[in-house]
Structure formats: C-alpha cells, structure tokens
Structure 1
C-alpha cells in the first residue's frame, strides 16, 4: 500500500538548473562521414513532416509488384500516417516514458525535474514541470495502471508520485550508496533498482519503512538495464562489466551469471512471447539468449555499425528498434534476422526509446535536447519473412515510412 504523505511537489521549473551534472553525459565524437550524414537532416522541420512526404515517389515495375515487403511499405505510405511534433527542450532528457493508457509522456531531466507532456498529432503541450530530485533524474516509470510515477536519480533517492494530484506518496532517501542508474517495475508491489557500482536492490511497497527486501552486489560496473517477464520469477540485469546477472526474485538470491563479454551490455528486450531475450552492446553487437538459459547466448546478430547501441524497444514479437551513438534508429527483424531499415534519426546520439500505449508511436531522446516521435504503425502490415529482391540498390527505393532518408547515399552512408 502506498503511503500518502500529502507532500505537494513544486510545479515550477528550477532557477538553479545550471548545475546539470555534466558527468551524466558522455558524447562520443562523430566521424566526418557521420557529421555529414547528420547535417543533411539538420534543417528538416519535424513538425511539418507527415511520415511519407519526405520519401521519394516509387514507381513499381513488375518485379516490385511481386515483392510483399515493398507492397507493405508502399501501402503504409499511402495511409499518410502522422505523429506529434518534436519536443524541443532547454535541458537534456535522461529518460522518457509513455503513460500506459493516456496520451501523456514523462521526461526525466538532467536538472532533476520531471516534465509531463500531453500530445496529439498536431501539438505537444507541457502540463507540469515537477521538481523531483536535486540531481539528474535518470529513470521514470509509470505503474501498470498509470496512477503512480516512479523516479530515481543521481541523488540516490527513489520517489513515487501520484500522477493526478502530483503529490509525493513515498520517498526512499539515500536508497543506494552510489547514484542509481536504472529502475524497473516487477509487479504492483515490487520494483528493482540498479546503481553505478553494480548493486541491485528489490523493494516491496507493502513493507513499512525504506529498507529493501533484497540486495545483491555481483557486478563490477554500472547496472545498465533490467527486465523480467510476466511470471516475475527472474530479473535479468545487464552491466557495464559485460555480463548478464539473473536474480531469482521469489528466492531472493542470485540465479546465474553469464560469462563476461568483452564489451558493455547496454540494453535489454523480450521477444517471441517472452522466450527470447536480446542484449545489445557498446560495440554495436546484439546477442540472443533463451529465457531461462542466461549463461551463454544462443545466437549473435550481425551488426551494421561498430558504434554503441544505447537503447532498444520491442515493436512486435519479432521486430526491435534500436537507437545508437550515431543518432540512427534502426529496425531489425529477429526471426529470420534481417535489417529492415532506418526508422528515424537524430543529429546526436540516441539515448532513450519508448513505445506508446497503443503501439503506434515510438519516442526517442538525444543529447540535442529534443524528443522526437515516429509513427511505426506500418509494422502491422510488414511481413519481413519476405525479402526485397535486387539487393541493396533495390532496397534503398523503399525506406521505412518514418525515415527521412531519401536516397542511397543517405541510407548507406553509415553501413
């Protein structure tokens, strides 16, 4: 049961946000080729983009007419799908989270504030600027029913806020000894947090006080991501030390730790009815693990770039969108493995991704202080088991509808 302490959190922006914890940002330098590619899109107005307007017209020949993937992409372009305009910010958004049943998105800001925006295809509107943390807010998550917003920060605290009243309902002060990096909700009563030092803690909202029900220190670097399935038995944790560490939640003990990979594990996602877990790394690789077999990957997916994959979001049971250090959002089909194309792009590294409550939109944030929306409803029509005939040069005529890339040099500049 959540405690209603009746503490009202301020809803005005901070005057002292200049202390923005720059050490939370690590931007790798872009190559001249990447910079040129990004600059081609720098002056495009996302607000007026209608997903398909920026794509080249397609003239079908007989071979194209027989291609199922091409027909699905063209069909989705004809639907002329829309998306909300870009949110331009004064500070960097460290995390983003869609509300589970309202057209609302929460932004965790480097200033420590949490911003709540409502959105539609015509506009985005700032509803509240809520002063939550004294240092960089690193993670925000809505409860399953959307009534509570969880946030955690570099100041080592965890806060729970009632979304309607914007009142603080529970505070865990000094919850970790090191800054907290990530938070995930396991069920209506339990959530987990991981910090910069590799410590994972489990919390039960039914317990009085502010002590965790379990704590584990088995990772040598920061906990980058955590995920569980609907059973809630195992919590899989990715780490900067290159390992996956799995916790038995009911047993409150470590289940297994994978071998250490020679790269940082940066993000996780569940696929194929929760039977597969996908992990990405700071070297652009992706590893598939069978759920329940967390010691060693079952398959490695070839990568298009050696640059870091910073975040991922499952779009369907078989399709993942990843965001990387090169600013590109890419769609990948897992079974069979195929790179489907570019979903969207930023001028700076993509740091966070999330998907809307109806599955039609994804949002992405970058260190350019922007949050962009991309309509991905066309994946409902796309059967990636078919291949586009004719190789790369034929495929470049049929970019994914949300992408702004117009020609072969744009699309393949980073491959």
Structure 2
C-alpha cells in the first residue's frame, strides 16, 4: 500500500558516523618498558604503514549492478542527460536512483508515495527537471525530479484508471485510460484540451510524430488509433487485429509505425496508410508487452516469456537475445541518454541493465540466414546467458547465409522499395 498522498520521501543517503579509535587509551601505566632494552622493539611508524594493504580499487563493470526493489515496478524511465533513473511500482511509490558501472556505486536518491494506487507510468521532461506520473488512482502528478516533491496534482483526471502517458512538450501531455479515453492536457492551466473516446478497451501506449501533429494510440481492442493533435479531433482507427495491441514505435525516420501485440506478432503500418497493416512478422514469443527503439531500424522488445529480443525492421529479422528476466514478464524497457545501456523492469522486482552500444550500428544484410531447427536465438551479450549459464541455448554459432530464392528476392525487393 502506498504512503498517504501528503507523504514525501527524503533522501536515503545519510552520512556515516565518524569512526572512533578504541585501540588504546593514553596513560602513564601504558608505557613501562625501557627504550634501551633490545627485547622491546621500538615502534616504527613507517614499517606499520608499509605493512598496511591498500584497499582494492572498485571494479568497473560493463553494466551497472541490478537494482532490487521492494515491489514489482510497472514502469522505468531514464534521465535524458544523466545516469539517473526513476521507477514506479504496484504500491504507488516512485523511486529515483543514480546508477553507475562502478561496482557498489548504485544509490537511491529519493522516494515518494504520492499515489494511493499502482503507478502505471512515469516520464522525465525533456530537460530532466520534472517528472510526470499517472496511476490507477486516476490522478496525474507533476514532481520535481531533483527532490521528488509534488508540484502539481490533477485529481480525478480520468473517469477510469490511467494506463498510459506521453509528454508532448514542456506544457502538453497525453494520457490514456482503461476505458479507451484519450486526453491531452495543458499543464499550465491544469485542464484538458482534448477528450476523446474512440477505443473500446484500454489504451496501452501512445506515440507522436516529429512535428507533434499526429497522435497514435494502441489499444486492447486490437486497433491503432489516429488523432489530429493540431485540430484536436479523431481521424481513424485501423482494422482490428486478432489480439491486443500493446506498444507502438516510429521507425524508418517516421515513415513506418511498428506495433507489438499480445499474440507475439509485430505489425507494420505505412505512415500514409493506417487503415491496414503493410507487413507483419511473428517473433515466436509470448505477448510483446513493451518496446524501445534504439535506431531507425533496430528495436528491442520485452515479452511475457522474460526475453529481451533485438529486432531489425525492414529487413525483418530477430537479431538475437539481449538479456532476460528468467521466467518473469517484462513490464517496460528504457534506453539511456547515450544509447549505450538498456534498462528493464520485470516481475522479479529487479531493474536490470544491458549493454546495447553495438546494436544501433548493426548492419542487417538482405540475405536470409538458415534457421536452426531448434529455434535457438543468438546471444548478443554475455549476460544473455544468465548468472548460471541458464540460457546456454543462446550460444553464438556461425551460420552460412544462403542465397535467397526467386520468391524471396522478390519479397526483399518489395521490402527495400517500401523502406525507401
């Protein structure tokens, strides 16, 4: 249960008490030996200093250590310019941590318990000075990112629990709830400037184009919604898919829209053709619950089976496994400000970090590699195997590319022309 709404967590970092030397007390009775007696060796301060061993230097890791939480984190967001993250959990609490690749240097900065129910989403502003969070308690909170103090609260922002959040600029944000209602808020006034219900089920994710003109929503009703932000009106809904649509990302410099689904299938839409999908491919995964784009062509997906997959878009390929939360559904993925690290939160109550620095520059050839009969994925990091080599099936193997057949060549030509 989250703390009361007026509670604000304080900085957890406390100064260590001063060390007290109790090895001996001064006094005349403590020194009874004759300085000239050879049986009593004279103290040698320099020798004592030489005998003392210097503490070992902290080990520098490829990625920060895991952060252990007290409850499952629904959401995680990384600061746009610093090594700081925030996460919101099922109890309604929000935590801020400084993370570091130096072992033992992760530390909690502050915590707050302003939400009365599960915190669903939390996001940094573009300058990193403020945070916005939404919750099952139907409230929108604006926080000071440095201290975690509450700046503005909108109570009863939606009639249903709020599920998704997107910051559009320093003043505008969009929220979607469990009943399928989308709202756009002007935080200067604390009021909504757009309130539309066009979905029949929860809104799972929201995206916006670079010009901040078109809003896209994915929903549990299996459709992609298109809203005109400038004209503040609904445009259209896509044809319905067989499962829930769970996540959305813009790819190929905004010309393609990638959508994840509860069926483990990724759908592609052309920017000028939202009515029907232009392509689709299955990941052989359980529900794709979250995505984080690393470049115009590479995206990481988090699934209910606990695996984080790196996926190429046009050509469509599963590149391999970045990491895993063994057997635990992944709630959210977020990339660091320098695109070097990927953070993930899952039902194991851990925030884990993965080295993805090599992925944005990955070049995917048009040739299709021969798939292994057992369907194993390639390991893209040492940590993909797990602490005890649990995922040994991810061993890297040399695969000889085979020349595509005539039909595959035609398909590839269509993909290439589509991507142009």
Match for residue 411 of structure 1 among 382, 394, 415: 394
Shift of 1:101: 0.7
Could you say which residue in structure 2 is the equivalent of 1:40? none
Secondary structure of 2:221's counterpart equals coil
Could you say which residue in structure 2 is the equivalent of 1:4? none
Could you report, residue by residue, the CA deviation over 1:264-299 in whole angstroms, capped at 9, with x for unpaired residues? Answer: 000111111111110010010110011232111111
Could you report, residue by residue, the CA deviation over 1:109-147 in whole angstroms, capped at 9, with x for unpaired residues? Answer: 111111000001023211111122011111000011111
* Correspondence 1:225-264 to 2 at 5 A: 225-264=205-244
Could you say which residue in structure 1 is the equivalent of 2:273? 293
Indicate whether 1:154 and 2:136 are aligned.
yes
Could you say which residue in structure 1 is the equivalent of 2:89? 109
Could you say which residue in structure 2 is the equivalent of 1:11? 9
Q: Find the aligned partners of 1:349 and 1:222 in 2 and give their Cα distance.
A: 19
Judged with a 3 Å threshold, the aligned counterparts in structure 2 of structure 1 residues 395 and 196 are, in CA distance, closer, same or farther, namely closer
Secondary structure of 1:263's counterpart equals coil
Q: Find the aligned partners of 2:258 and 2:283 in 1 and give their Cα distance.
A: 13
Could you report, residue by residue, the CA deviation over 1:138-192 in whole angstroms, capped at 9, with x for unpaired residues? Answer: 1000011111100010110000012124332211111001110011011222110
Could you say which residue in structure 2 is the equivalent of 1:139? 121
Could you say which residue in structure 1 is the equivalent of 2:100? 120
* Correspondence 1:218-229 to 2 at 5 A: 218-229=198-209
RMSD value, Cα: 2.5
Could you say which residue in structure 1 is the equivalent of 2:372? 392
Match for residue 281 of structure 1 among 237, 261, 271: 261
Judged with a 3 Å threshold, the aligned counterparts in structure 2 of structure 1 residues 112 and 275 are, in CA distance, closer, same or farther, namely same
Q: Find the aligned partners of 1:288 and 1:359 in 2 and give their Cα distance.
A: 24
Judged with a 3 Å threshold, the aligned counterparts in structure 2 of structure 1 residues 265 and 299 are, in CA distance, closer, same or farther, namely same
Q: Find the aligned partners of 1:124 and 1:91 in 2 and give their Cα distance.
A: 18
Could you report, residue by residue, the CA deviation over 1:211-231 in whole angstroms, capped at 9, with x for unpaired residues? Answer: 311101111110000000210
Secondary structure of 1:277's counterpart equals strand
Secondary structure of 2:121's counterpart equals strand
Could you say which residue in structure 1 is the equivalent of 2:284? 304
Match for residue 192 of structure 2 among 212, 234, 237: 212
Shift of 1:397: 9.7
Structure 2 unmatched runs, 5+: 12-58, 396-420
Secondary structure of 1:404's counterpart equals helix
Could you say which residue in structure 1 is the equivalent of 2:171? 189
Match for residue 160 of structure 2 among 170, 175, 178: 178
Q: Find the aligned partners of 1:317 and 1:297 in 2 and give their Cα distance.
A: 19
RCO higher in structure (CA 8 A, sep ≥6):
1
Judged with a 3 Å threshold, the aligned counterparts in structure 2 of structure 1 residues 337 and 407 are, in CA distance, closer, same or farther, namely farther
Aligned length: 338
- 8 Å contact 1:376–1:402 — kept in the other structure? no
Indicate whether 1:269 and 2:249 are aligned.
yes
Judged with a 3 Å threshold, the aligned counterparts in structure 2 of structure 1 residues 81 and 256 are, in CA distance, closer, same or farther, namely farther
Could you say which residue in structure 1 is the equivalent of 2:343? 363
Normalised to the residue count of structure 2, the TM-score between the two structures is 0.76
Judged with a 3 Å threshold, the aligned counterparts in structure 2 of structure 1 residues 289 and 402 are, in CA distance, closer, same or farther, namely farther
Judged with a 3 Å threshold, the aligned counterparts in structure 2 of structure 1 residues 381 and 246 are, in CA distance, closer, same or farther, namely closer
Structure 1 unmatched runs, 5+: 1-6, 14-49, 51-79
- 8 Å contact 1:396–1:408 — kept in the other structure? no
Shift of 1:399: 2.4
Q: Find the aligned partners of 1:263 and 1:117 in 2 and give their Cα distance.
A: 36
Q: Find the aligned partners of 1:396 and 1:81 in 2 and give their Cα distance.
A: 27
Secondary structure of 2:227's counterpart equals strand
Q: Find the aligned partners of 1:333 and 1:290 in 2 and give their Cα distance.
A: 16
Normalised to the residue count of structure 1, the TM-score between the two structures is 0.76
